[in-house]
Amino acid sequence: MNTISRPTTIQEVLLQLDAIIENAISSNDRIGYFAFLYRRVTAEILNEVQLGNFENNARMEIFDVAFANYYIDAYNGYTANQPISKSWQFAFDTKNDTLTILQHIMLGINTHINLDLGLAASTVMQGKEISDIENDFNIVNTILGNIVNEMQDRLSRVSPLLFLLDLAGKNTDEEIINFSLAKARELSWINANLLWGLGDGHQDAAIRQMDNTVLSLGEFIKAPKSKIVTYALRLLGKFEEKNVGRVISRLREE
């Protein structure tokens, strides 16, 4: 795979995500599933910035680009066999594992939100008051929630037995998503404040600890403890579309 250059605007982020998605389609690489979801979220954030719906739209663009670059840097590092965070290494390494489409997406969400989001907020707000970005940070919660609901509907096109996760437990599929979204974003804000408080040059140990925690969460997503959920996921995967290009094409359909 070709490495992707570092973007400086949200528009450039979208172009880089498009390149990652196209690379994934051409190589039938499941890395493309999270990249597709992330592109959808990023496009919506750009739309909200252009509409002026954040408290500070210029700052939100800077923040969103910084956030995206943690993913793009990890992707580039992985494709170049360079050291990256343990949690991104684990998420990318599962690309050839026979997991469900939902699990591949959730592994990306887990690392990008539980680890990268706090790092990005802390970095962008160094030297400023981090609470100033909290309202805009929380606006993204709503955007993410809406996109996830939309994505669940779209996933049923390529994962016809997705409803089995509901039967396996009380809204288990939503619990998996909520585990990696609502709770994750709450945790990432706590992490952002912790890292911001530590300041540049004093964060390494905290980041390593966060990375290890996120890795453990990724292992849970890959191999849930519940035997019923594990069986449902295995059955779900048997009936899913396996071609990455066809999956993404179906997800793109309006």
Task: State the 10-residue block means of pLDDT for the chain, 254 residues long.
Answer: 75 96 94 94 96 96 96 96 97 91 90 93 95 92 80 81 59 50 80 91 92 92 81 81 90 83
Nearest to 107 by CA among 86, 85, 92: 92
Specify the pLDDT at position 126.
92
Nearest to 23 by CA among 72, 83, 82: 72
Tokens 């591949």 sit at which residue? 104
Nearest to 114 by CA among 180, 51, 46: 180
The terminus-to-terminus CA distance of the chain in angstroms comes to 29
Structure tokens that stand for 76 in this block: 């580039």
Specify the pLDDT at position 178.
47
Chain-centroid distance of CA 153 in Å reads: 18
Nearest to 163 by CA among 95, 232, 211: 232
Per the CB < 8 A criterion, the answer to whether 99 and 173 are in contact is no
Specify the pLDDT at position 19.
95
Q: What's the CA gap between 203 and 56, in Å, rounded? A: 27
pTM, 2 dp: 0.90
DSSP structure class, residue 238: H
Residue 103 burial (10 A CB sphere; 0-12, 13-18, 19+): buried
